[in-house]
Amino acid sequence: MIKQIFSGISAYKEAFVLLSKLKLWNYFVIPTVLSLLTFLFIVYIALGYSATIGQLLAEIWIWNWGKEIVMTLSSFGGGLVILVIGLMLYKYIVLAISAPFMGVVSEKIELHLNGGFYADYKKTTFIAQLRRGVQVNVRNLGMELFITFPLLLLKFIPVVNLFSTVLLFLIQAYYVGFGNMDYTLERYFSFKESLGFVKKNKGYSIGNGIVFIGCLFLPVLGVIIVLPLSVTAASIQTIALLNKENERSIL
Task: Please list the helix, strand and coil fractions of the chain in percent, rounded to the nearest 5, in that order.
Answer: 85, 0, 15
Instruction: Report the pLDDT value the prediction gives residue 83, as an integer from 0 to 100.
Output: 73
Segments making up each domain of the chain, as ranges: 2-29+94-245
How large a percentage of the chain has pLDDT more than 70? Answer: 82
pLDDT in tens, 122-157: 888 888 889 999 999 999 999 998 888 887 776 666
pLDDT tier at 190, thresholds 50, 70, 90: very high
- How many CB atoms sit inside 10 A of residue 235's CB? 29
Instruction: Report the pLDDT value the prediction gives residue 39, as an integer from 0 to 100.
Output: 84
Instruction: Report the pLDDT value the prediction gives residue 155, as an integer from 0 to 100.
Output: 61
Instruction: Report the pLDDT value the prediction gives residue 75, as an integer from 0 to 100.
Output: 65
Q: What is the dihedral of CA 221, 224, 228, 233, to 10 degrees?
A: 40
E strands present in 36-162: none
pTM over 0.95: no
Question: Which residues, 6+ apart, have CB-to-CB distance to 74 below 8 Å?
Answer: 53, 54, 56, 57, 58
**Across 15-42, average pLDDT:** 88
Single-letter code of the amino acid located at 9? I
Single-letter code of the amino acid located at 193? E
